[in-house]
Amino acid sequence: MTSSPYYDVLVIGAGLAGMRAAIAAHEEGATVALLTKVHPVRSHSNAAQGGINAALTDRGDHWEDHAFETVKGSDYLGDQDAVEILAQEAGQDIIALEHMGVIFNRNEEGRLGTRRFGGQKRARTFFVSDFTGQAMLHVLYEQIMQAKISVYEEWFVTSLAKDDHGGCAGVVAFEIRSGTFALFPAKAVIMASGGLGRVYEPSTNALICTGDGMAVAYRAGAPLMDMEMVQYHPTTLKGKGLLITEAARGEGAYLLNSKSERFMERYAPNMLELASRDVVSRAEQIEINEGRGIKGCVLLDCRHLGRQILQERLGQIYAEAKTFANVDLAEEPLPIRPGMHYQMGGIKTDTEGRCWDVQGQWKGLPGLFAAGETACISLHGGNRLGANSLLDTVVFGRRAGTCAAEYAKTLPTLPISDTAIEPDRQLVRTIASRQGQGDRAAALRLEMGTTMNRYVSVFREQEGLETASHRINDLKARWPGITIQDKGQVFNTGLVAALELGFMLDCAETIIVGALTRTESRGTHFRTDYLNRDDEQWLKHVLLYHTPDGPPHVEYLPVRITQWQPQIRVY
């Protein structure tokens, strides 16, 4: 096939945001297909462990509290109209998930139970043991199977296809199993392809998190926003950087330095270990840098929680600590350190998931939508609260799906020519047929990852960022010369890795440009040469547009404030 059937709504990525969007669009009556580079249940939404936030009014909670804490967590960079929607609609989406079959933990009365999470004063995190993301992902896939929504599994998107007016009219992709290229024409495309964690080494993110969707949209003309906002999670394992859920601290675990001090008392006297992630990660890094760490780590102490709580409510990390760190959490503290975890920035969208502005304040790409970690509405601003990402995927995945279906209804079917696939097919042929001993994609990726983790991490400054910029530019220059040994068509993972690297290098460049541009410290973006938050200058978003040859073109958008003026942020 060189062209798939014509769809009203084509969703790229089948994690939580993508599947939620597909279900919503299907319910609106649109013809929908999911296109994903891995089987839906292999998606990285699996890795979300701790839970999903919602302020349920019938439990005496208030959405305004949730919204305020999200805004404060974002260091006032989150757009407050979007945050209000998130907090107001959270309840209905949690209940909808429960009705679909998610086995949320219950309290004594058989109603949904909660646990505490960071940056929030109330326990409003609903959960399934410590594999909430996995439990939700599998249930959403059940819904996809029930609705018989078409899923193109193991298809890799290489670019967006455009119509004669420059709008998004589908995607070009190839089937990994056969190497066959095809055009997927669609009236609306929803990019829900997840994060970019592999730009960093190490990272908590799965090997598939390579920023494909962000780069594909960016190259097609959609702006990426607040890319400098890269979250470091406070509790990751040394080595490969596997995640240890914040729920451990939510359930009461301590952070200790080499002197066995609960050092968070000095950094966040009220919230302690449950201050927001940027604050805790910075505190840990300071302890480590000032010599109070243990081999580059601090300690997560769960011993006082007892084996039963650990096994019942934190079973996954209990097993993970044993398997991957050889630590029995009930007996000894676990060495952990801050590690790259989440990209707050992404493809700029409005609150309906549209990657273009109907009011015209910023340019974009009509027909393109985005949701989940790929998108930046902006909800999470400078720092995302734990358990808000799952909520983001279902609330804004649903809204993007609904809006895309409505948008598709307004459009006539416009056939586009499948010649759109030619440039990509040619590029792949060139890479695959290149002979000789050029650079390996894996070697370049490692160099990129360690560079980013060294210079664009918890603490940043001009000189380091410039060094990173030079190195990434050098890698970009070397990318066209990489060679792969596998010359076959079938399941050529070497080829996929090469294309992913190209996408990641674009993402890395935007992160560095964003970090160089924002000359202040806000949220997770901490500049040692600009120590303070500067609301006068920088209460605004950084938008980056792709240019054919030079560095990205920079524009700004003011932060939308509804009811919470910026205050000094203490925990």
Partner 1 sequence: MHTTLRIRRFNPEHEHPSSYYQEYDLDVDPADSVLDGLIKIRETVDDSLTLRCSCRGAICGSCGMRINGHATLACKTKMISVASEGETIQVEPMHNMPVIKDLVTDMAPFWSKIRQVQPWLQPQGPPPATEYTAPPESMTHLSGVMSCIMCGACVSDCTVLEVDKNFIGPAALAKAYRFVADPRDAATSQRLEVLNQYGGMWDCTRCMECIQVCPKGVAPMDRIMSLRAQGMVEKIPSTCGSRHAEVFTDIIKHKGMLDEPMLAVRTFGLKHVGRLLGMIPMMAQSLLKGKVPLSGPLHRAVPGIQQIQRLFKRVRTKP
Residues of the shown chain interacting with partner 1 in the complex, contacts defined by CB under 8 A: 38-39, 41-44, 46-47, 58, 95, 98-101, 103-113, 128-129, 131, 134-135, 138-139, 142-143, 145-146, 177, 206-208, 240, 242-243, 312, 316, 319-320, 323-324, 326, 440-443, 484-486, 488-494, 497
DSSP annotation of 557: E
DSSP β-ladder status, 298-301 and 346-348: unpaired
Residue 359, class by beta-carbon neighbours within 10 Å (0-12 exposed, 13-18 middle, 19+ buried)?
exposed
**CA 6/CA 285 separation, integer angstroms:** 51
Find the shortest distance in angstroms from Cβ 413 to partner 1: 31
**CA 491/CA 297 separation, integer angstroms:** 39
Task: Please say which residue, 106 or 266, places its beta carbon nearer to partner 1.
Answer: 106
- Three-state DSSP at 101 gives coil
Task: Please say which residue, 93 or 509, places its beta carbon nearer to partner 1.
Answer: 93
Peptide bond into 552 cis (omega under 30): no
Find the shortest distance in angstroms from Cβ 356 to partner 1: 32
- Three-state DSSP at 173 gives strand
Structure tokens at 171: 């995607």
Task: Please say which residue, 47 or 268, places its beta carbon nearer to partner 1.
Answer: 47
Residue 551, class by beta-carbon neighbours within 10 Å (0-12 exposed, 13-18 middle, 19+ buried)?
middle
Question: Is 20 designated active site?
Answer: no
In the set 249, 277, 522, 533, the catalytic residue is: 277
Task: Please say which residue, 395 or 441, places its beta carbon nearer to partner 1.
Answer: 441
The angle subtended at Cα 510 by Cα 567 and Cα 530, nearest 5°, is: 40
Task: Please say which residue, 228 or 320, places its beta carbon nearer to partner 1.
Answer: 320
Torsion-angle region of residue 460: left (phi > 0), alpha (psi -120 to 50) or beta?
beta
SS3 readout for 469-499: HHHHHHHHHHHHHCCCCCCCCCCCHHHHHHH
Number of Cβ within 10 Å of residue 436's Cβ equals 6
Find the shortest distance in angstroms from Cβ 208 to partner 1: 5
Task: Please say which residue, 107 or 289, places its beta carbon nearer to partner 1.
Answer: 107
φ and ψ at 336, to 5 degrees? -140, 165
Q: Radius of gyration (Cα) for the chain, nearest Å?
A: 22
Q: Which residues are catalytic?
A: 277
